[in-house]
C-alpha cells in the first residue's frame, strides 16, 4: 500500500491522464426523494430519503428475499423519512413484508431511523459490533459540562475558544440525534448473507467509521458500498478526541485495498449520489485526493517553519459554513497530520502556548526518496 502511494505521488500526471480518458459510468437515472424506487436488478430496489442539508439525500436499498424484504440503511430520524418508508412499504414491496434492517454504519443518516423501523415493522437490526457500540456511545446526550480531555483535544489543535464553544453548542443541539437502540444482531467481516437468490459477503471498511459493513455479491458484481466509495465526494475521515492518537487514514487506505478485490465491472451502490461503475478508477481518485492534501500540507511547510492543526485546516478547507464543520474539517486535517507523523514525514512538538506545532521531519524525504 505504501509503495502504491509513493508511486502515485511521484507520477501525478498519470492520474490526471487517466481521469481525462476514463470516466465513471452511471447506468441508472436516480429515484426522486419522494418514495419512488428504481429497480437496479431483479429484487434489488434503490430509493432515496431526503436530507435538509447541502448533501440533500441518502440512498437506501431494498433486497427481496424468499419471504420478505431486507432494508439497507434508513435515512434521518425525521417525519419526512418515516413517511417515505410508509409509502414504500405500501406501494413497492409486491405484497411481501419487511423482514430485516441492515445498517452499514452508525452515522445518523444511515441508522437514525433504526429504532423506529425495527419497532414499526417488528424486524431485527443487523450491524457490526463496532458500529452498534459506537452508536450506543455517541447517541447518548452530550455530557454537561464537556469533559476537560475533550476540550483540551481541540485546544491543543488550536481551535479558537469562541469556535470551540459554538461547536459544542451545535453538537449538543443536533436535531437529528436518534433515540437509543436497545439490541442488534451482529454482522462480521467475511460473513455471507443469503437473501433471495443472492449471496452477499460482508467486507469491512474502516477510517470513515469503525467497522463499516459493505455488501458484495460477487456472482453478479454488485457492491452496496455505503460511504466507502462515493462517486464524486470523499467521505470524512477524522481523528476525534475519543482516539486522539489514531491513524484513520491508514485504515481508510487499507479499506480501499480490500475493496479492490471486487470485480472491475462491479456495479457500485453508494449511499450518496448515483449508482456507478468504475471501481478501480474511483479507489485511485480517492487515494490521489488524500495525496494532494499531504502534498499541500508539506508544501506549506516549505514556506513556514511550523503550523498548528487549525492553521493547517485553514489551508485545506477554505469555506466552512457551520460550527459542526469545524469538527469534521479539523478532525480530517488531524487525520492527514497523523498519517504524515506515522510515516516519519512530519514531527510535532507541544509548544509553550499548549498547541501542537507540526514541522517537516528533516532528512526523512531524502532517506525515503520521496518527491512531495
Ligand atoms: Zn457516514
What pLDDT digit, counting tens, does each position of 211-238 carry? Answer: 999 999 999 999 999 999 999 999 999 9
CA distance 68 to 70: 7
Q: 209: CA distance to ligand 1 center in Å?
A: 7
End residue of a domain, out of 255, 277, 299? 277
Give pLDDT, residue 10. 27
Q: 302: CA distance to ligand 1 center in Å?
A: 34
Three-state SS for 44?
A: strand
Average pLDDT of the segment spanning 57-76? 98
End residue of a domain, out of 277, 306, 322? 277
> Is residue 26 scored above 80 in pLDDT?
yes
Closest C-alpha to 295, from 276, 312, 272: 312
- What percent of the chain shows pLDDT beyond 90? 85
> Is residue 276 scored above 90 in pLDDT?
yes
Question: Which position has the grid cell 479507489?
Answer: 283
> Is residue 12 scored above 80 in pLDDT?
no
- Find the angle CA(135)-CA(338)-CA(172) to the nearest 5 degrees: 35
* Residue 226 and residue 316 in contact, taking contact as beta carbons nearer than 8 Å: no
> Is residue 112 scored above 90 in pLDDT?
yes
Q: 120: CA distance to ligand 1 center in Å?
A: 24
Average pLDDT of the segment spanning 94-99? 97
Do 197 and 116 fall within a single domain?
Answer: yes
- Report how far apart, in Å, the C-alpha atoms of 369 and of each of 282, 314, 366 are: 27, 29, 5
- What percent of the chain shows pLDDT beyond 70? 91
Q: In this predicted model, which residue has the larger pLDDT, 307 or 14?
A: 307
Do 189 and 66 fall within a single domain?
Answer: yes
- Whole-model pTM? 0.91
Give pLDDT, residue 365. 55
Give pLDDT, residue 142. 82
Do 168 and 44 fall within a single domain?
Answer: no
Give pLDDT, residue 19. 47
Specify the range with the lowest mean pLDDT, choosing from 105-114, 139-148, 257-266, 280-289: 139-148
CA distance 271 to 57: 9
Three-state SS for 262?
A: coil
Burial per residue of 116-141, b for 16 or more beta-carbon CB atoms within 10 angstroms, e otherwise = bbbeebebebbbbebbbebbeeebee
Closest C-alpha to 104, from 219, 271, 299: 271
CATH number at residue 364: 1.10.10.10
Confidence of residue 346 (pLDDT cuts 50, 70, 90): very high
Give pLDDT, residue 77. 96
End residue of a domain, out of 248, 277, 306? 277
Q: pLDDT tens, 298-311?
A: 999 999 999 999 99
Show the domain range for 352.
1-22+144-176+278-372
Q: 260: CA distance to ligand 1 center in Å?
A: 20
Closest C-alpha to 275, from 287, 264, 266: 266
Average pLDDT of the residues of the chain:
91
Q: 317: CA distance to ligand 1 center in Å?
A: 19
Q: 98: CA distance to ligand 1 center in Å?
A: 24
Tally Cβ neighbours within 10 Å of residue 156: 21
CA distance 85 to 87: 5
* Residue 9 and residue 299 in contact, taking contact as beta carbons nearer than 8 Å: no
Q: pLDDT tens, 173-201?
A: 888 989 999 999 999 999 999 999 999 99
CA distance 296 to 305: 14
Q: 250: CA distance to ligand 1 center in Å?
A: 17
Do 285 and 322 fall within a single domain?
Answer: yes
DSSP assignment of 110-153 equals: HHTTHHHHHHHHT--EEEEHHHHHHHHHHTSPPPSSPPHHHHHH
- Total domain count for the chain? 2
Q: pLDDT tens, 31-41?
A: 999 999 999 99
Q: 212: CA distance to ligand 1 center in Å?
A: 9
Do 169 and 204 fall within a single domain?
Answer: no
Give pLDDT, residue 14. 33
Average pLDDT of the segment spanning 253-279? 97
> Is residue 292 scored above 50 in pLDDT?
yes
Confidence of residue 141 (pLDDT cuts 50, 70, 90): confident
Q: 367: CA distance to ligand 1 center in Å?
A: 37
Amino acid at each position: 500500500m505504501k509503495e502504491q502511494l509513493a508511486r502515485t505521488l511521484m507520477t501525478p500526471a498519470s492520474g490526471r491522464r487517466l481521469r481525462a480518458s476514463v470516466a465513471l459510468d452511471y447506468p441508472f437515472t436516480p429515484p426522486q426523494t419522494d418514495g419512488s424506487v428504481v429497480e437496479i436488478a431483479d429484487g434489488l430496489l434503490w430509493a432515496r430519503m431526503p436530507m435538509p442539508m447541502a448533501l440533500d439525500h441518502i440512498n437506501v436499498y431494498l433486497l427481496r428475499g424468499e419471504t420478505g424484504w431486507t432494508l439497507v440503511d434508513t435515512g434521518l430520524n425525521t417525519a419526512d423519512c418515516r413517511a417515505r418508508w410508509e409509502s414504500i412499504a405500501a406501494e413497492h414491496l409486491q405484497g411481501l413484508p419487511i423482514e430485516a434492517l441492515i445498517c452499514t454504519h452508525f452515522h445518523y443518516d444511515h441508522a437514525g431511523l433504526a429504532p423506529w423501523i425495527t419497532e414499526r415493522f417488528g424486524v431485527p437490526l443487523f450491524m457490526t459490533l463496532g458500529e452498534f457500540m459506537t452508536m450506543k456511545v455517541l447517541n447518548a446526550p452530550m455530557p454537561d459540562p464537556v469533559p476537560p480531555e475533550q476540550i483540551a483535544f481541540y485546544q491543543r489543535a488550536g481551535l479558537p475558544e469562541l469556535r470551540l464553544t459554538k461547536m459544542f453548542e451545535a453538537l449538543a443541539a443536533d436535531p437529528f440525534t436518534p433515540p437509543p437502540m436497545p439490541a442488534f444482531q451482529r454482522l462480521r467481516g467475511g460473513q455471507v448473507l443469503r437473501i433471495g437468490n443472492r449471496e452477499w459477503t460482508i467486507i469491512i471498511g474502516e477510517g470513515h467509521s469503525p467497522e463499516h459493513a459493505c455488501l458484495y455479491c460477487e456472482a453478479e458484481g454488485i457492491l452496496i458500498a455505503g460511504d466507502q466509495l462515493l462517486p464524486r465526494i470523499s467521505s470524512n475521515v477524522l481523528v476525534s478526541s475519543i482516539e486522539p492518537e489514531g491513524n484513520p487514514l491508514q485504515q481508510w487506505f487499507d479499506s480501499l485495498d480490500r475493496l479492490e478485490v471486487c470485480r472491475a465491472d462491479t456495479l457500485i451502490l453508494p449511499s450518496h449520489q448515483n449508482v456507478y461503475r468504475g471501481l478501480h478508477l474511483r479507489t485511485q481518485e480517492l487515494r490521489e485526493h488524500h495525496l494532494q492534501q499531504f502534498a499541500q500540507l508539506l508544501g506549506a511547510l516549505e514556506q513556514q517553519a511550523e503550523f498548528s492543526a487549525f492553521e493547517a485546516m485553514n489551508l485545506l478547507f477554505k469555506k466552512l459554513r457551520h460550527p459542526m464543520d469545524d469538527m469534521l474539517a479539523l478532525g480530517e486535517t488531524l487525520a492527514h497530520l497523523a498519517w504524515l507523523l506515522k510515516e516519519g514525514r512530519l514531527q510535532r512538538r507541544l509548544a509553550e502556548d499548549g498547541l501542537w506545532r507540526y514541522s517537516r521531519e528533516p532528512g526523512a524525504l531524502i532517506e525515503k526518496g520521496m518527491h512531495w
